[in-house]
Amino acid sequence: MTAKTTAKMTATEAVRSHVAGLEPEQLPAYVYDLPALRAHAAAVRAALPERVELYYAAKANPEAPVLAALRDAVHGYEVSSGGELAHVRAAVPGAPLAFGGPGKTPAEIAAAVDAGVHRWHVESEQELYRLAAVLADRPDAVVDVLLRVNLPVGAGALDSVALAMGGRPTPFGLDPDRAEAAVRLLTEPVGPLAPVRRRLRLRGVHAHLASGLAAAEQLALVEQIVGWSARLAERHAFALDEVNVGGGMAVDYADPGARFDWTAFGEGLGKLLDRHPGLILRIEPGRALTAYCGWYATEVLDVKRSHGEDFAVVRGGTHHLRTPATRGHSQPFSTLPVDGWPHPWERPAVTTGRATLAGQLCTPKDVLAHAAPAAAGLRAGDRVVFDMAGAYAWNISHHEFLMHPRPGFHYLDGPAEDGVAVEG
């Protein structure tokens, strides 16, 4: 057992008292602490120098109250589909949008041009041609483009990364040689894009290469991306206005108290910007903004011993919170003991000092936390509050599998002490 297996509780008082007040049939429930989310996002923003713009990657958690709570802290939102585009526009009207993602359909491209998205992250030459075709039909439309590039990043720099998306074969972005070709298409006065060239403005480069980087690794990556982009701009004599260096700031599920070092990151970006006067940097984190401000709360239905190990079966499971199953971790949690047992039979309890927290699905993969010491003494009827469920949780889960009911959604707002619940 390492120190890290005993999870430090992160549920705020507002969340714990709200969960304690719910009826069993109201569980499981996602509970968000919106004042905590606002405070976290404001602190992230405050750590960034002036020429760094903060966008929120909506795919991490696109729930409307979450998007709205971030509005004051972020410069804009990154969307990666026509669906996200329409949804985010409705949830936070007027907010600047960056539109990315591979495989944009002609209809999505047209809708995004009509919506006047702030920045376009172009993933291929084919996408440029499609974009040009849409512009040809809309004489007044103008789009500002960043080329998404799959850069070869320095060997070793990303070895520790959970989910590397760059520097190796992927469906994302343009390889460096294709990026050169795309720049030529956009900057040369002749060629297939020439008729709309002035309305298809190359503003810079986008790169989202990795996920799970600590601040120092992230800074090293940003240095590489900006250096490469500056050389590209110099070779082709275009003005490098902006570089979007993506998201992927680390979130450590084994240590809920740990945070990405935004202060060190902001200071490092400031030094980099001193060497690039006039350049705008943009970052688009998802997970590191919202993971900490959502919880998945539920009730223990049963506790049983199987071949020497304790299992606590909870309402819900990985069809609501798939993250631990896909990432192969134990979701950190805290427990809320519920006193009183109204039944005439014995109350089952964890007696081995640890338990595996499983859900209701008929598959051995439905495990939220494996052999967790934090489950010592847990009884049927007690409540469990899973931490770090504010990102890539509900919206990436397989909700329909086994047809269990959906969880409730509770957005706590107002002064933290009151914990006023707004039902979603």
Ligand X SMILES: *Cc1c(COP(=O)(O)O)cnc(C)c1O
The set of catalytic residues is 362
Q: Does 61 bind ligand X (CB under 6 A)?
A: no
The span from the CA of 314 to the CA of 408, in Å, is 15
> In the 8-state DSSP scheme, what is residue 213?
B
Residue from 52, 288, 314, 368 that binds ligand X (CB under 6 A)? 288
Q: Closer to ligand X by CB, 81 or 356: give it.
A: 81
Q: Does 59 bind ligand X (CB under 6 A)?
A: yes
Q: Binding pattern to ligand X, positions 77-116, x when CB under 6 A?
A: -x---------------------x----------------
Give the shortest CB-360-to-ligand X separation in angstroms. Answer: 28
CB atoms within 10 A of CB 160: 13
Residue with tokens 């008929």: 362
The span from the CA of 282 to the CA of 260, in Å, is 17
Residues 146, 173 contacting (CB under 8 angstroms): no
DSSP characters for 86-143? Answer: HHHHHHSTT--EEE--S---HHHHHHHHHHT-SEEEE--HHHHHHHHHHHHT-TT--E
Interface size with ligand X, residues (CB under 6 A): 16
Q: Does 247 bind ligand X (CB under 6 A)?
A: yes
Give Cα 162 distance to the centre of its chain: 14
Options 17-25, 27-35, 176-184, 246-254: segment touching ligand X (CB under 6 A): 246-254
Residue from 89, 208, 282, 320 that binds ligand X (CB under 6 A)? 208
Q: Does 211 bind ligand X (CB under 6 A)?
A: yes
Give the shortest CB-333-to-ligand X separation in angstroms. Answer: 21
CB atoms within 10 A of CB 394: 22
CB atoms within 10 A of CB 42: 13
Facing residues of 55 across strands?
A: 76
Minimal CA–CA distance to 81: which of 55, 117, 105?
A: 105
Q: Closer to ligand X by CB, 179 or 288: give it.
A: 288
Q: Closer to ligand X by CB, 32 or 356: give it.
A: 32
Coil, strand, or helix at residue 11? coil
The angle at the Cα of 323, spanning 318 to 326, to the nearest 5 degrees, equals: 90
Q: Closer to ligand X by CB, 35 or 285: give it.
A: 285
Residue from 166, 246, 332, 359 that binds ligand X (CB under 6 A)? 246
Q: Binding pattern to ligand X, positions 334-373, x when CB under 6 A?
A: ----------------------------------------
Cis ω before 28 (30° cut-off from 0) = yes
Q: Does 321 bind ligand X (CB under 6 A)?
A: no
Q: Does 248 bind ligand X (CB under 6 A)?
A: yes
Q: Closer to ligand X by CB, 82 or 246: give it.
A: 246
Give the shortest CB-81-to-ligand X separation in angstroms. Answer: 11
Residue from 22, 57, 157, 312 that binds ligand X (CB under 6 A)? 57
Residues 174, 124 contacting (CB under 8 angstroms): yes
Q: Does 249 bind ligand X (CB under 6 A)?
A: yes
Residue from 28, 62, 166, 286 that binds ligand X (CB under 6 A)? 286
Residues 325, 364 contacting (CB under 8 angstroms): no
> In the 8-state DSSP scheme, what is residue 422?
E
Binding site for ligand X (CB under 6 A): 57, 59-60, 78, 100, 208, 211, 246-249, 284-288
